[in-house]
Amino acid sequence: MLKRRVHIEHKFEYRTTACAHRRRVFDGLAAALTSAFLAAVPLLAQFEKTISTTYDGWRRLSDGSYDLVFGYMNRNSSVVEVPLGAANTVDPAPADRGQPTTFLPGRQRDAFHIHVPKDFSGKFVWTVTYAGATQTATGSLDQNYSLDVGDPEPPTVTVASDTTVRLSEAVPLSPIVKAPPPPQVPTDSQIVARQSRSSRITVWWSKFRGPGTVTFGDGANPAASEGGPTGREFPMGTYRLTCAAPLPADCGATTARFSAPGTYWLRVVAAERSASNAIVKVTVEP
């Protein structure tokens, strides 16, 4: 009986040792596979954050028609590219309604608008998919999102017609920026208008669409937050210029260089306590 008991104990010990060995092998294999997976995934992709599309509201024009205004919130700390297609589309067709493919960090209002007639009764849906999440914004006239009240008149900005340059050349950018009129006291006592500062105009430039990178000016004047009433405002571009009143004729003027041929949309924003923007298209030839 003693020999039998020893044999059984040795057999149990052998099985226990074998199980422990297999467990160590399995754990090592799992660790190796995890390391290989993480090495295969770009480091930045592990920390990508979502982009939310927003419907900012509608703006009524003098002829009775409307602009449906869309914006977005990019939660990443850097610029994100989302090309046109299934990941960046507007419904109903055509899917390209002038929306951005370059998304600046932070909350960006009035990114683009869709013009509709005064009797419009439908809706438009802007869909963006990024970082594994799909976000939609629905714009219509049914929603009580008027942008016509509450804010002072913004400065105006206009740009020259579309242009063509060689890749080796810098394109001059000369917007026409005009100061807003003095703020008026609202006739409706329930509306509290934000008062304009009338001390300076800030002009932002950024790439709105395009296949390569764009360098504005000497590239050494990055945008910074204006630090608005909430202290949480975001830059409206990647290159910033400021103009003191009275505005000079060259307010917002700079140059742009391109890293690759193609068609680029450049966005310029003129802002005080409210803002307006314009798009200039540049075709870059080899």
- Domain positions in the chain: 48-139, 156-285
DSSP secondary structure string for all residues of 214-282: EEETTS--B------TTS----SSSEEEEEESSPPTTTT-EEEEESSSEEEEEEEEEESSSEEEEEEEE
Give the pLDDT score at 185: 64
**Amino acid residing at 238:** T
Question: pLDDT tens, 52-83?
Answer: 999 999 999 999 999 999 999 999 999 999 99
The two tokens of residue 175 are 């917007």
Question: pLDDT tens, 21-48?
Answer: 455 544 554 455 445 444 444 444 458 9
Q: Which residue has the tokens 């950024």?
A: 206
> Domain 156-285, what fold?
Immunoglobulin-like (2.60.40)
Q: What is the rounded average pLDDT of the residues 180-202?
A: 65
Residue-wise burial string across 217-240, b where 16 or more C-beta atoms lie within 10 A, e elsewhere = beeeeebeebeeeeeeebbbbbbb
- Backbone torsions φ then ψ of 228, nearest 5 degrees: -70, -165
Coil, helix or strand at residue 24: helix
Measured CA distances, 206 to 13, 46, 64, 136, 165 (Å): 71, 26, 32, 24, 18
